[in-house]
A and B are shown apart, each in its own frame.
Chain A
Amino acid sequence: MNEPNSRMDLVSTLRILHEVRTDEVIITSMGSGREWQQFKQHPLDFVHVPSSMGQTQSWGLGVALAQPTRRVVACCGDGSLLMNLGSLVTIANAAPPNFTLLVFDNGVYEVTGGQSTPASTAKRLMGRSINLASLAEECGFRHTERITTLDKWRSRADILLNLLGPVCAVLDVAPQTEDYSVRSPGRPKERVREFAETLQTT
């Protein structure tokens, strides 16, 4: 992982995703869910807040399996992925060709105040960071990529939304240090009903 001050800005990475997306399902959570709400919303957006931490990629897998003709993009943080690492194996085993997992890796539990995760470099023997993209590759994802600059992300985002999946891209982002709490758009039951209706009728 890059040093904190050289990592990408989360909002900038999401803005690029917002610019390149067309008709993909985009499911966000935690930090990505909080920031995604500042962009114009699409009927196929689902902000998975409130969530069960670590389960957003599994919700996305289910949608991808039920709707094989749509591209499904699930966004999670590294802390969330660590909470459900087995999901990488489950996704690779199910092998949905229409699924992209975006991991926004900031090395901390951002929404609770920035505590480092057990995977943070400083806490690990030998001081070596975990390369989550390599982990996804070992689990059997068809394509994995680690992205450390906005230029690279800008050039790869559209491709990663269209490659034969399952795809996993890990983006090195800086932790947000202000206004970092999780933020629900509210109306969870109504929102999920609207999202399901859009999925099933369009």
Chain B
Amino acid sequence: MFTADEFVTELRSVGITHVVSVPDSTLGEWYPALQESDDLSLIQVCREGEAWAVAAGLHLGGAAPVVLIQCTGLFESGDALRNAIHDYGLPLFGIIGYRSYLNQSSIPGDTARIFTEPILSAWQLDTVLIDTPDKKVRMAEHYRTCRAEERPGVALIAEGRA
């Protein structure tokens, strides 16, 4: 969907300071560009629940973080996001890779495809799906809207591989 340079440009355009992340094969391709960027810090965590918690602390301290994880990591990290977003009302933003959305060649019948959108809905996260190149602009637009309204949000990025 995004090239690495496109992705970094989009994040910089909305003033992101930190990307808190666990990679998958799509998101990981953006890491070198993230690491080379002077005005973005890539914070790698060991498990996705940590990502929401580190982002919470960054937000409290005045930074502008995003959480960058795969949808399977979203499944893992529910309690951490519940606490930060719903207990404390923090307007955190997630960019979530939607595994097997475009094709299921590497994991036929991938159940991640079944549960991702219902789980985002259950966590009451306003989500935009980016599944075609013409929708890429929606990521920055949605971030700006959520930030202006001080509410959490998610950009769900369609992926084709695990």
Contacts and interface: CB of A to CB of B under 8 A. Distances in A.
| A, B co-complexed | yes
A192 B89 contact: yes
B47 interface: yes
**B49, B53, B62: most-surrounded residue (chain A CB, <10 A):** B53
B79 A52 contact: yes
Contact of A90 (B46, B60, B63, B89): B46
B57 interface: yes
B60 A195 contact: yes
Interface stretch (B24-32, B37-45, B103-111, B131-139): B37-45
A88 to B, nearest CB: 9
Tier of interface size on chain A: 20 to 34
B161 interface: no
A62 B62 contact: no
A118 interface: no
Interface string B54-82: 11111111110100000000000001101
Interface residues of B, number: 32
A173 to B, nearest CB: 24
B46 A87 contact: yes
Contact of B63 (A66, A84, A193): A66
Nearest to B78: A52
A59 B60 CA distance: 9
A192 B88 contact: yes
Contacts, number: 110
B18 interface: yes
Contacts of A55: 49-50, 52-53, 80, 83
Contact of A65 (B50, B63, B82): B63
Contacts of B55: 62
Interface residues of chain A: helix, strand, loop or mixed (majority): helix
B62 A199 contact: yes
Nearest to B79: A52
B44 A90 contact: yes
A84 B50 contact: yes
Contact of A189 (B58, B65, B88): B88
Contacts of B83: 50-52, 55
A188 interface: yes
A61 interface: yes
A98 to B, nearest CB: 11
B90 interface: yes
B58 A90 contact: no
A63 interface: yes
A51 B45 CA distance: 19
7 contacts: A55-B50, A62-B57, A62-B58, A62-B61, A65-B61, A86-B47, A199-B60
Interface of A: 50-56, 58-67, 84, 86-87, 89-90, 93-94, 188-189, 192-193, 195-196, 199-200
